[in-house]
Amino acid sequence: MKSDEGPTSAPTADAAVRVRAVIANAGVSQREFARRVVMDPSKLSRALSGTRRFTVAELARIADEGRVDADWLLGSRPREKGTAPAVGIEGGRPLQIVRETVRLVAERGFRAVRVADIARACATSSAAIHYHFPGRAELLEAAVRWCMDEDTARRAAHLAEADDAAAELRQLIALQTPRTAQQRRQWAVWLDLWAEAARSTAVGRLHSEYYRQWRETVTDVLRRGVGQGVFRAGIDPDAAALTLTALIDGLATHVLSASGPSSATAADAMHATLTAHVTHTILAP
């Protein structure tokens, strides 16, 4: 079955009942759960009401966030009556597939990665890949969502440690400076996603939505800082967030274009430039 929502999932409408159970077990609002799985709240609402069907990638992401058995959520394995959703084992073949996909995309770009390449990297067959992800589109979407979730979780963990909005902003800058191999790999994926967004592909649209949420995060930090008195009272949080995120994007592109020792130097320069920008235009005198 195809719809304007993209590839649909194999499960029946019973998946909506299972997803409701996962959300209830998470103890958060439907909107908050949608944010955690990087899903449009209106799409989640329509899927739960039965007016659209969850995609395979969405269900895989929901299973991961809810820490439930993916086979149960997808409806391919029954659950004993009266028992709670089974907690999934972290890792396993699906996670290996997604991680190898991300690595290959970072190295070669979305357009150059084939399912056969991913199967070879996972030391398995293309049929085994399709067992977990019916098509290349679902696999790429799952890989992008995994990247986004990793980024969101990392930000949340660091922001929780900050004492005020100024410390939060410093944490965001540090996290966005590509120093480690993991940060560089993730930035390589993000840069490739910009091209996909320009082509209006499915993963490109997903990136655009996530980027909107990322900018809103920066805007919220800036607005909170103004209220706390640690940022300049006269700044426009929306405009300041637009400028800062654009500066981060441009500088990160320069860092990734460098190699060897010059890469570390470029990362240092990026961090220094961002810190100076915040000091001179955002922090309260």
pLDDT of residue 70: 67
Q: Which residues, 6 or more positions from 187, have their beta carbon under 8 angstroms from its beta carbon?
A: 178, 252, 255, 256
Task: Using DSSP bridges, classify how beta strands 6-7 and 2-3 pair: parallel, antiparallel or unpaired.
Answer: antiparallel
Residue pLDDT, tens place only, 129-187: 888 888 888 888 888 888 888 888 888 887 777 889 999 999 999 999 999 888 888 89
The pLDDT value given to residue 206: 82
Helix (H/G/I), strand (E/B), else coil: 138: helix
pLDDT tens per residue across span 47-102: 888 888 887 767 777 877 787 766 677 665 444 333 333 323 234 678 888 889 99
How do residues 189-226 score in pLDDT, each as one tens digit? 888 888 888 887 778 888 888 888 899 999 999 999 99
Half-sphere exposure of 12 (CA within 13 A, CB side): 4
* pLDDT for residue 247 is more than 90: yes
The pLDDT tens digits for 109-140 are 888 999 999 999 988 888 888 888 888 888 88
- Both structure tokens of 233: 């009272």
φ and ψ of 59, to 5 deg: -65, -35
Cβ contact 71:243 at 8 Å: no
Residue with tokens 């990026």: 270
On average, the pLDDT of the chain sits at 82
Position 86 scores a pLDDT of: 33
Q: How far apart are CA 236 and CA 219, in angstroms?
A: 9
pLDDT for the residue 121: 92
| Coil vs helix vs strand at 283 | strand
Query: What value does the mean pLDDT take over residues 34-38?
Result: 79
Point out the least confidently predicted range of 104-113, 195-204, 238-247. Answer: 195-204
pTM of the model: 0.65
